[in-house]
Amino acid sequence: MLPPAPGVREAEVASFLLQRTPVTNAQFRKFVVEHPEWQRGRAAALFVDPGYLRGWATPTDPGAGEAPQRPVVGVSWFAATAYCEAQGARLPSWYEWEWAAAADETVADARKDPVWRQRLLTWYSTPGGNAPRPVAQGKANMHGVHDLHGLVWEWVQDAGALMVSADNREQGDPDLMKFCGTGALSMEQKENYAVLMRIAMLSSLEARYTTANLGFRCARDLPGRQP
């Protein structure tokens, strides 16, 4: 879908551990209590925008309107990274997240299934505005991971490296390279429109930005395992 470099069609993803659900309000509350520098009103403006944890009743209490088992939202990339590091973990890379998210309940790669693709697009086309439901309410995919689709958007470690151009003539533009991070990239498999939407969403954000439907989960390397 998004080749890693010009002339390279595949990316290898080493075995890794991925959190089964997005981080919840209850989990993030524990983090901000233990790390008060990440509480709303204390976190540096360099790392969070004014929407950071805006829905919470207080800097350390999500309140009745933000159920403990709902995914935490209104969190910047910096805050998500700090949370994962406090757990001895990290944000998943885009390739890791998409590899896990390609699975449905029975197969590891459902991307060619038009029914599955339409299910994703139905969620993406549904107007937002309501608080997300609690995590793990639906079926897990074949890896045992919940809510990669249909709940919230999620930060990835290399979100800032996903900017691409729809104009192939710009792929070698040195100014574009300043923003791409990973280099000149080209889009393939455009029928997987949901993936394009995720790339567009993440590449539109600065690391300090927050939104009311953007959360995250953590990952860890699996020592000694090969792709």
Once rounded to an integer, what is the mean pLDDT over residues 186-199? Answer: 64
Q: Is residue 87 part of a domain?
A: yes
Q: Is the pLDDT of residue 191 over 60?
A: no
pTM for the model = 0.84
Q: Is residue 78 part of a domain?
A: yes
Q: Is residue 7 part of a domain?
A: no
Q: Which residues, 6+ apart, have CB-to-CB distance to 73 below 8 Å?
A: 55, 132, 152, 210, 211, 212, 213, 214, 215
- pLDDT tens-digit map of 46-63: 999 999 999 999 999 999
Once rounded to an integer, what is the mean pLDDT over residues 180-196? Answer: 50
Q: Is residue 1 part of a domain?
A: no
Q: Is residue 77 part of a domain?
A: yes
- pLDDT tens-digit map of 132-159: 899 999 899 999 999 999 899 999 999 9
Provide the number of structural domains found in the chain. 1
Domain membership of residue 45 as a residue range: 16-220
d(CA 66, CA 57): 8
Q: Is residue 92 part of a domain?
A: yes
d(CA 122, CA 128): 12
Q: Is residue 226 part of a domain?
A: no
d(CA 131, CA 218): 21
- pLDDT tens-digit map of 194-218: 787 888 888 889 999 999 999 999 9
Q: Is the pLDDT of residue 179 over 80?
A: no
CB of 104 closer than 8 Å to CB of 113: yes
Q: Is residue 4 part of a domain?
A: no
Q: Is the pLDDT of residue 189 over 60?
A: no
